[in-house]
Amino acid sequence: MKTSLNWIPVLAAGLGAAWLVGCASTPQESGRIRTEPFGSADGQAVTLYTLRNSKGAEARICNYGGIVVSLKVPDKNGTIGDVVLGYDKLEDYVKVTPYFGCLVGRYGNRIARGQFTLNGVTCTLATNNYPNALHGGAKGFDKRVWQAKAYDSPAGPQLVLRYVSKDGEEGYPGTLFVKAAYTLTEDNGLRLDYAATTDKDTVLNLTHHSYFNLAGKGDILGHEVMLPAGRFTPVDATLIPTGELKPVAGTPFDFTRPTAIGARINQEDEQLKFGGGYDHNWVFTKRIGDLTLLARVTEPTTGRVLEVWSTEPGLQFYTGNFLDGTITGKGGWVYQHRNAFCLEPQHFPDSPNQPNFPSVVLKPGQTYRNTIIYRFAVK
Ligand code: GLA
């Protein structure tokens, strides 16, 4: 076993059998996981976990918001580089963040006017993206300190995060027990497995919000995107779906063949105008729960390729339209308009108010599951 002063062996203290059992890890010591203090939030100590695989890939994740602070993968020449935006310090994440690298919940994306009705009862949420609710409210899962434990699992170094969201937190009914397990796999995948249970009927839509730039600099307009989806959910001016599932054919939303992000992003198009670029949900024809490819992105200069796989039926593709040069991130990079993109596997936005969209209701006795994989390769 490789150990050094920095690479502290992590002793897994059992399988966390208390709730949501199912972690396939073997508790053992590991040289693939390093921990270090990362400051504090809400009066609680926050830890930064560094996971490494044998291919030189490295993910640094903290237990505040489950934020992926950095993600380093090789380019076509074998040079390892960071492909996500974020900050060097926890205090910057606490101060202001456009959801850099975080776990998103209870409801990823928007709920119209911050209201929905469940079993005849109207639930009221913070309209933190006026006039709508966005990404779990004023203090969503991205701003919570999660319980954390690292494991050297057979699939790779793993960080298991747990959070208990109280009944009524941010306006959502039911006590929710959430587990989010990140695993850095040997095939350079960062895998996220969510599981959740509730003690009352509730709604749930968890996702992940890394901002990717596969070149590690500049804008993302030259990245080529392929989305194997025939339809998307058009939105109104506040980015709430109209309810229509619109064919992408003949529109700037057709990414069924690899196309540069910048090729059509400035076209005269009402949907692009509403989003300020791409900020829409693509619809996949699949059985929900089946792990399928939702996106492949290629960056021509570095040869880096990102594939997104998920069990979810939708994918929010957001092109960093709100980045405007007001945030200085890691290494002094000033994040300008469209310096990154997000690919957020999810159920469709505003599903609690859209009877024709797949249901996001979770009931006691059921276990919510959602797997998201960001896998890196070169071309
Ligand atoms: C999501 C939304 C965007 C934006 C970002 C965060 O991707 O769809 O509209 O709110 O999060 O800035």
Distance 87 CA to ligand 1 centre (A): 18
The ligand 1 atom at the shortest distance from the C-alpha of residue 279 is 8
Q: DSSP character for 331? A: G
According to the model, what pLDDT value does residue 99 have?
A: 98
Spatial contact of 89 and 333, defined as CB atoms under 8 Å apart: no
Element (H, E) at 70: strand 68-74
Whose Cα sits closest to atom 7 in ligand 1? Answer: 318
Give the integer Cα–Cα distance in Å for 11 and 115. 44
Task: Sort residue 74 into left (φ over 0), alpha (ψ -120 to 50) or beta.
Answer: beta
Q: Is 322 in the pocket of ligand 1 (CB under 6 A)?
A: yes
Contact 312, 372 (CB under 8 A): yes
Residue nearest to atom 6 of ligand 1 (CA): 98
DSSP secondary structure letters along 90-137: HHHHHH--S-TT-EE-SB-SEEGGGEEEETTEEEE---TBTTBEETTS
Cα 2 to middle of ligand 1, angstroms:
41
**Local structure of residue 363 (DSSP, 8 states):** -
pTM of the model: 0.93
pLDDT in tens, the chain (379 residues): 333 333 433 333 333 334 444 444 443 336 899 999 999 999 999 999 999 999 999 999 999 999 999 999 999 999 999 999 999 999 999 999 999 999 999 999 999 999 999 999 999 999 999 999 999 999 999 999 999 999 999 999 999 999 999 999 999 999 999 999 999 999 999 999 999 999 999 999 999 999 999 999 999 999 999 999 999 999 999 999 999 999 999 999 999 999 999 999 999 999 999 999 999 999 999 999 999 999 999 999 999 999 999 999 999 999 999 999 999 999 999 999 999 999 999 999 999 999 999 999 999 999 999 999 999 999 9
pLDDT of residue 30: 62
**Measured between alpha carbons, how far is 148 from 146 in angstroms, rounded to an integer?**
6
Which residue is closest in CA terms to ligand 1's atom 5? 98
Torsion of CA 264, 267, 272, 273, to 10 degrees: 150
In the block, tokens 């997104």 appear at 308
What's the CA-to-centroid distance between 318 and ligand 1, angstroms? 7
Could you tell me the sign of the dihedral formed by the alpha carbons of 103, 109, 110, 116, in that order?
A: negative
**Ligand 1 center–CA 247 separation, angstroms:** 23
Rounded to whole angstroms, the Cα distance separating 338 from 275 reads 12
DSSP string, 178-232: EEEEEEE-TTSEEEEEEEEEESS-EE-B-EE---B-TTSSS-STT-EEE---SEE
209 annotated active-site? yes
- β-strand 304-310 against 368-378: which pairing, if any? antiparallel
Burial pattern 154-189, b for ≥16 Cβ within 10 A else e, equals ebbbbbbbbbebeeebbbbbbbbbbbbbbbbbeebb
Catalytic residue, from 209, 223, 280, 347: name it.
209
What phi, psi does 113 have (nearest 5°)? 50, 20
Query: Which class for 66: exposed (0-12), middle (13-18), buried (19 or more C-beta within 10 A)?
Result: buried
Residue 134 Cβ inside 6 Å of ligand 1? The answer reads: yes
**Residue 376 is encoded by which pair of tokens?**
């890196």
Q: CA 139 → CA 64, 75, 104, 126, 344, distances in Å?
A: 12, 36, 10, 9, 19
12 φ/ψ sector (left φ>0, alpha ψ -120 to 50, else beta): beta
Residue closest via CA to ligand 1's atom 12 equals 98
